[in-house]
Structure 1
């Protein structure tokens, strides 16, 4: 049986994504992203399902720093519509609520109802964890912003459903494994993820990326991050629409290598239907 690691508790969005991808798998909830990746690295889990960015909140902090150093490979992607319910203990009412708990990202994605209620907020480590905390408190003055699955799991009552600011709120997850998956057919819609470190020369980044433009390769994401202190060259995480065996992509990667000290492909995997439907630029 496959074991799936994810950050957060049961009832979290990560747990929902993991079950959508691997409905019959065993689950390994982890306290942090690094612990979830380590679970795969050291064999406690077969794959990890990790959020990388959200349509409202942007990239998930730390994940892009951890991916290249983990030694793991991206084998799939998944897009999950994000829904938050405001929930409290059984018998509670909105009039009784004084404090709302949730993960910092969830609080930021539900600003409208928080302003409307004028409630004090407390940051929890996880959205589902905030629901558990409210259930343990048993106090009608405390409520949680959590995924719908958390209410029945922790015996809470939904005070108001679907309170997210953006009805199109979506989080993209990637699946990480110890070994790279077989590449899709070169003619199928494909995403290639890689990271590179530019050479320490003038206009290195401009020259490194020039091959993508000149060969008509669509670059959908670029994230920069610094490794260590000082003036060491930046590293970049990049995602492109295309397959390394396609002539244009092959030429672009060859040109990238001319102006980089390191290029590492982290994954070549099928594009998710959400991306193909125009939900992701």
Structure 2
């Protein structure tokens, strides 16, 4: 594993050099279907590794003025309508309010009526929500310029962290530019005219069913797992199932023409899901409001190394709001010869940390500089405004 170096630029940190965690670039075949004036994306085809071309190679190539004119002619020939080209996203300023979402395409996992779509519409009212079959497709939609932003569920107050999405954050190169906290309102849905007594089974995502255990147990009905909550509502409506209900959002009931038999049926009233907003470019860190920074790093084996890593924040009065560890996929075990009977094997971990500080603050930059003294890998996933209210 090679060491990486992080430098500050315009208040944000960027990773220099290569490491075991450099993200490969992929050529992906994505299938898109137009449904009810929305875009639907799914993953198709095989991921193929594509080698990067060093910038130095481009600078060494020589060309004559004639070649330059020829290239300009070709460029004009194929790009007459410049307005049809995708608009490159620059490093945006906070003056661009996230509430103005009329021209923003936001990718989310699920189908219309999913809680991720609800979060997208609350964050960017009037946006074009882009449903994607899988979390991987959400990242690819933004990377391929098919969407401007992505909204990604990262943790739930009852179900905990969504580990799959932590892995995807590391695999892809999108930046966290915001967060959303959504109060989840689980509703029991059924076809018009159907009552609770008519139901023999209920469909929903496994986590939604587990969060409504007490209510569903009282109804004494069979619970069946499906991929997502909105998909359960769609299935009941499209098949006209009068003996089957669904646990989903109130928006799903509106979209698929179902009645709400009961609202807030979750066992715990305070059921909140935290979402991350992702984009191709980072935002400029500021100091005129509260910011949060998300990072991921690895450490060498040794006594007190994790303590030292966390201490760099405590020494500068920086509050940590989230700590998550994930075993490394490409090197899960670390062999350490620290016993008389043989070598010991430990899991090798990645550490994800959120802390309350802007990368425009010297204390945050100094903390990461200090952390690099014993971190073997360090990457800033994003610096973004903190959510002030639900």
Common fold: TM-score over 0.5: yes
Matched, 1:190 2:190: no
Instruction: Give the corresponding residue for 1:236.
Output: 351
Instruction: Give the corresponding residue for 2:312.
Output: 211
What secondary structure is seen at the aligned counterpart in 2 of 1:18? helix
Determine which structure has more spread, i.e. the larger CA radius of gyration. 2
Pick from 193, 196, 202 the counterpart of residue 100 of structure 1: 202
- Give the drift of 1:120: 1.0
Matched, 1:21 2:148: no
Contact 2:332 2:349 in 1 (8 A): no
Instruction: Give the corresponding residue for 1:124.
Output: 226
Contact 1:194 1:267 in 2 (8 A): yes
Instruction: Give the corresponding residue for 1:222.
Output: 323
Whole-angstrom distance in 1 between the partners of 2:384 and 2:333: 34
Contact 1:208 1:258 in 2 (8 A): no
- Give the drift of 1:23: 1.6
TM-score by length of 1: 0.93
- Give the drift of 1:252: 2.0
Whole-angstrom distance in 1 between the partners of 2:278 and 2:114: 19
Runs of 4+, deviation exceeding 4 Å: none
Whole-angstrom distance in 1 between the partners of 2:251 and 2:355: 34
RMSD of aligned Cα (Å)? 1.5
- Give the drift of 1:176: 0.4
Matched, 1:43 2:158: no
Whole-angstrom distance in 2 between the partners of 1:208 and 1:161: 45
Pick from 185, 189, 199 the counterpart of residue 83 of structure 1: 185
Whole-angstrom distance in 2 between the partners of 1:242 and 1:256: 15
What secondary structure is seen at the aligned counterpart in 2 of 1:92? coil
Matched, 1:167 2:269: yes
